[in-house]
Amino acid sequence: MKLTVLGSGTNVPHPRRSTSGYWLETSGGSVLLDCGPAAPLRMAQEDLPWAELDAIWISHFHLDHCGGLASFLAGTKYAAKTRQRTKPLKIFGPSGITELFERFDAIYNYGLREQRFPVRILETASLEPFELLPGVRGVTAKTPHTPESHAIHITDASETTLVYTSDTGFHEPLAAFARAVDLFILECSFPKDKPGEKHLELAEAMYLIRKAEPKRAMLTHFYPEWDEVSFGDEIRTFDPRCDVIEATDGLELTIDA
Ligand SMILES: [Zn+2]
Ligand SMILES: [Zn+2]
């Protein structure tokens, strides 16, 4: 698999970190993990084949994770690059994603489903495996963040595995969910002294990494509280047993089994 980080930040405006979006190339096609308001712009800036995107997975309904969905589909509806497209675009999400999509659509009666290609919206249930892309398995797990928020575990045909927590409070079962994956992507909103229980701070993320024993880990979803912090110095104090990578907008990673 190959990952491109579109946005490593949050809703808070930041000069180098935009809202959530992760472009993942798998054995069965491409999937965009979360689609924040900056994701359509960021896909174009990274010169990714957005007109051929196969699937989108939305973790939860905070705007920094789904606020780009409607504008992206308003764009694909009229873009020259989608004129020849016939293959469907699948949009996966937790229970409520269909209603959310329809509410976005109703704001201006955009007709977001009336595209040159089929748009299929599929609601997935916690811990029930589904086919994310041909030959690529997905399974989601509930996280303590919002009523609908989920993490996702992806396995492609080469048995390469990835877990993305998206936004979450501290939740020990995430370590088992991400057990021995090739890349464990965790939110790490704050370096320390997090202001609430709905996100992770560094010590909690590092604890989950130590328990999960992934091949590599990547931290992301950084609030500006990280700006004055040396990422590498902070990570070293935890003496991790695997590489722990700092997500940055535009970072590309190849993930092998
Ligand atoms: Zn959130
Ligand atoms: Zn968020």
Reported pTM = 0.98
Q: Closest-lying ligand to the alpha carbon of 65?
A: 2
Return the number of other C-beta atoms located less than 10 Å from residue 257's C-beta: 12
Q: Which letter does DSSP use for residue 101 in this model?
A: H
Q: Tell me how far the alpha carbon of residue 158 lies from the centroid of ligand 1, in angstroms.
A: 31
Q: Tell me how far the alpha carbon of residue 147 lies from the centroid of ligand 2, in angstroms.
A: 14
Q: Tell me how far the alpha carbon of residue 226 lies from the centroid of ligand 1, in angstroms.
A: 17
Domains of the chain and CATH, by start: 2-254 (3.60.15.10)
- For 1-44, what is each residue's pLDDT tens digit? 999 999 999 999 999 999 999 999 999 999 999 999 999 999 99
Is residue 175 within 8 A of residue 208, CB to CB? The reply is: yes
Produce one character per residue of 112-125: b if its CB has 16 or more CB atoms within 10 Å, e if not. beebeeebebeebe
Q: How many CA atoms lie within 13 A of 47 on its CB side?
A: 1
- For 177-230, what is each residue's pLDDT tens digit? 999 999 999 999 999 999 999 999 999 999 999 999 999 999 999 999 999 999
Neighbours of ion ligand 1 (CB under 5 A): 62, 167
Q: Tell me how far the alpha carbon of residue 102 lies from the centroid of ligand 1, in angstroms.
A: 20
Q: Taking the alpha carbons of 75, 78, 82, 85 in that order, is the dihedral positive or negative?
A: positive
Q: Tell me how far the alpha carbon of residue 10 lies from the centroid of ligand 2, in angstroms.
A: 5
- For 145-157, what is each residue's pLDDT tens digit? 999 999 999 999 9
Our measurement of the distance from residue 128's CA atom to the centroid of its chain's CA atoms, rounded to an integer in Å, reads 19
